[in-house]
Amino acid sequence: MVRSLRISHQESRHVTTTTAHRATAVAARAMELSKVYGHGETQVVALDRVTVDFPQGEFTAIMGPSGSGKSTLMHCVAGLERVIDMVGLSGRLHHRPAQLSGGQQQRVAVARALASQPEIIFGDEPTGNLDSRSGAEVLGFLRNSVQALGQTVVMVTHDPVAASYADRVVFLADGRIVDEMLAPTADGVLDRMKAFDAKGRTS
């Protein structure tokens, strides 16, 4: 099954989702994706003709400086700029929200999302409001859902440690994909981000 979405009006994109041929399948694809906000002197190019694949059964992290377009990319690829918060917890799905901490509420949300067996899960800073222990539990859950269940995960994060749970990190700067790292480590991602920051200060 293949689903394609094309949208115009300050935004040009072609996003494809497929479930065929698992070994080489692409869960989502952006082709020549552009997103522009504003007009004239206030115009901001959030995405500049980005082309990227998100393979099925892979955990991909999207990173970049603030304003690089990473959240915009994820929102567009997700379709209709919607985001599902992803974190895992299986013991408290029937508790009332007031009985749960903020972190537990996030983890219940992802457990419910995974129960519906979505083709792809998108998370925008899914551990941003969690303490380090809860964040590690969430990331471990997402990592396991990829390895054990063949789930596809795309996550935006500023955190090199969070990114190290992914199979691949895609780096954005000024609305463009500028680098990619396979089998990332926290130190490797941090070094790459420092290099981008240094380049930005001297450009």
Is the residue at 10 inside a domain?
no
CATH label of the domain that carries residue 150: 3.40.50.300
Is the residue at 170 inside a domain?
yes
Is the residue at 11 inside a domain?
no
Instruction: Give 23-51 pLDDT, tens digit per residue.
Output: 468 888 899 999 888 888 888 898 999 99
CA 106/CA 18 separation, integer angstroms: 27
Is the residue at 103 inside a domain?
yes
Domain residue limits at 159: 57-202
Is the residue at 26 inside a domain?
no
Instruction: Give 164-194 pLDDT, tens digit per residue.
Output: 999 999 999 999 999 999 999 999 999 999 9
Mean pLDDT for the stretch of residues 118-133:
85
Is the residue at 33 inside a domain?
no
Mean pLDDT for the stretch of residues 75-99:
53
Is the residue at 7 inside a domain?
no
Number of alpha helices (DSSP H) and beta strands (DSSP E) in the chain: 5, 9
DSSP 34-49: EEEES-GGG-EEEEEE
Domain count, the chain: 1
pTM assigned to the model: 0.68
Is the residue at 124 inside a domain?
yes
